[in-house]
Chain A
């Protein structure tokens, strides 16, 4: 289904933040904001639900810690017990200090990589994907606010113009 949306362009992140607050104060729903770089506090101002990415990162970290522990226990203690630096105790716990750096590294490795992959999946990003941003300038120096029009085009135009938009366009959008 195609719907009409209004695109308001801004050239400053502070102006954008104020504009978002004004639009929210007018009880309008903002569909999306496209930015060339992350703007601090924008998600809160838009009223987006808090991200759960941090929780997944913590869980991935625990997975990494577990993998490291089991892996080092298998390699160094069970499968081929090793005597390094005169520490042939063949016990995981007694050799623990030697394994801590590996446990730390794999915790970070798992948390970082799996979090990035989760982020890509959740944002529906993959190689060769066609860009979703409606205007190439949002990858350079412009911010774009997108609001769906429900027979209130002129009203929206006036409101957005007052918030300091540098350009306002109307376009058709295929909702997915």
Chain B
């Protein structure tokens, strides 16, 4: 039995407190009036005039924007209101990105776990309790994301522009989408998805524990069947979730492989966290039967799925870049214009770094190497979600400051607290999984 060490517990609580202070600080610092917003921007880069001129030039290039924004004298006023909205959005967006990121990790682990179950994999049963521990975060994490979405629907923030009835009234495209993209249906979908994911997680965990004391394999077989069924539900729900929760912050834009793209991100982050938690537990003397080959296999997945993520990132980027259709290409134009460093930095962190570090077979067995690469991969995929949400919600007023770091620290603390608390409730090694012997002798 693993006991949640006091040091780790205190560390996670400290992270939560510091993070909560950062989140509160972010909301306190957000401007309340247009004057405050202008003052903040002026003191921030000193030369707002230049930026403004550049934007005006930018607007004339994008014909569809120019039509919407060129109202002469009205322009300045609407621009200022826009600036205020963006700055007010920033703490919300920071909170949402971090909440989604940590929820996504446990959801990615859940998918990996269901695949192991459905494939009846022989190598991984020793890691099942670690995976179940990480997926336990889906309950608080999913509910927090749902609450943020609910607050968006209640107009506490302006993350999702299509929720604003005034905007929709002037926008033919959004009117056309409103049969699907309306607040009520949006929340119903979110509730169905979360209920399905959490329901599978809890049921599969129950069967997994029941299998330990059972005298036949009925729990194991039932788990296999529900996992296969869950994967069908997951593929559909995850795809729709990615349109709803991420793609819809930019409601005019669409990409047909977006679901896969977000899936790759959550899958690689999840596998990375499995490897890191396993290495941590092993370093504390737990999981005695987990050997180098298990870590090697997880590192192979980290390597492979990083390349898979890059493949999807590039497939999405290249087609849109090549066809150069205004309604599609604006997505990348804003990101390359205003988010150059995070946008391309993310590709380096999510592709070049893991490819070069984990290419050598032997390095996949060196624990500190896997952890180091894992930290970069996790930071890179946080940036991935950041790049998906921020340009559409705060525009060029982004910065990685107190609200962003505070949110990450808070959810990291909650994540650590929750998963290690869950890990300490059951023995770390399943006793009666029919494949446990194979897993113990696993060597690649």
Contacts and interface: CB of A to CB of B under 8 A. Distances in A.
A176 interface: no
Given A40-B444, A41-B443, A54 B322 contact: no
A108 to B, nearest CB: 12
Contact of A58 (B323, B324, B359, B443): B359
Contacts of A54: 360-361
A153 B429 CA distance: 48
Contacts of B318: 97-98, 100-101
Contacts of A38: none
Contacts of A41: 443-444
B317 interface: yes
A97 B324 contact: no
Interface centre among A40, A85, A87, A97 (most CB of B within 10 A): A97
B314 A100 contact: yes
A40 B321 CA distance: 45
A58 B318 CA distance: 26
A40 B441 CA distance: 13
Contact of B324 (A40, A85, A100, A101): A85
A41 B441 CA distance: 13
A56 B248 CA distance: 47
Category for how many chain B residues contact A: 10 to 19
Contacts of B323: 85
A75 to B, nearest CB: 18
A116 B323 CA distance: 38
Interface centre among B322, B359, B360, B361 (most CB of A within 10 A): B322
Contacts of A40: 443-444
A163 to B, nearest CB: 19
Contacts of B314: 97, 100
A41 B443 CA distance: 8
Nearest to A41: B443
A3 B318 CA distance: 63
A147 B317 CA distance: 58
A127 interface: no
Nearest to B320: A97
B317 A97 contact: yes
A92 to B, nearest CB: 15
B48 to A, nearest CB: 30
Interface string B296-326: 0000000000000000001001100111100
B443 A97 contact: no
- DSSP class of A's interface residues: helix, strand, loop or mixed? helix
A64 to B, nearest CB: 15
A127 B317 CA distance: 45
A54 B317 CA distance: 31
Interface in A87-114: 87, 97-98, 100-101
Contacts of A86: 324
A87 B318 CA distance: 13
B357 to A, nearest CB: 14
Nearest to A84: B322
B320 to A, nearest CB: 10
A11 B444 CA distance: 22
Contacts of B361: 54
Contacts of B444: 40-41
A54 B360 CA distance: 8
A97 B321 contact: yes
Interface string B354-389: 000001110000000000000000000000000000
Interface in A18-42: 40-41
A61 to B, nearest CB: 10
A40 B322 CA distance: 45
B347 to A, nearest CB: 11
Contacts of B321: 97
Contacts of A87: 322, 324
Interface string B424-444: 000000000000000000011
Nearest to B314: A100
A44 B264 CA distance: 34
B333 to A, nearest CB: 14
Contacts of B360: 54
A104 to B, nearest CB: 9
A58 B360 CA distance: 10
A107 to B, nearest CB: 12
A98 B443 contact: no
Given A40-B444, A41-B443, A97 B322 contact: yes
Interface in A43-66: 54, 58
A58 B443 CA distance: 25
A100 B317 CA distance: 12
Nearest to A51: B361
Nearest to B318: A97
B359 A98 contact: no
Interface in B321-341: 321-324
A85 B443 contact: no
B113 to A, nearest CB: 25
A40 B323 CA distance: 47
A85 B322 contact: yes
B350 to A, nearest CB: 16
Contacts of B443: 40-41
B317 to A, nearest CB: 7
14 contacts: A40-B443, A40-B444, A41-B444, A54-B360, A54-B361, A85-B322, A85-B324, A86-B324, A87-B322, A97-B318, A97-B321, A98-B318, A98-B322, A101-B318
Given A40-B443, A41-B444, A86-B324, 4 more contacts: A97-B314, A97-B318, A98-B318, A100-B314
Closest CB pairs A-B (n = 8): A97-B318, A97-B321, A85-B322, A41-B443, A100-B314, A98-B322, A86-B324, A97-B317
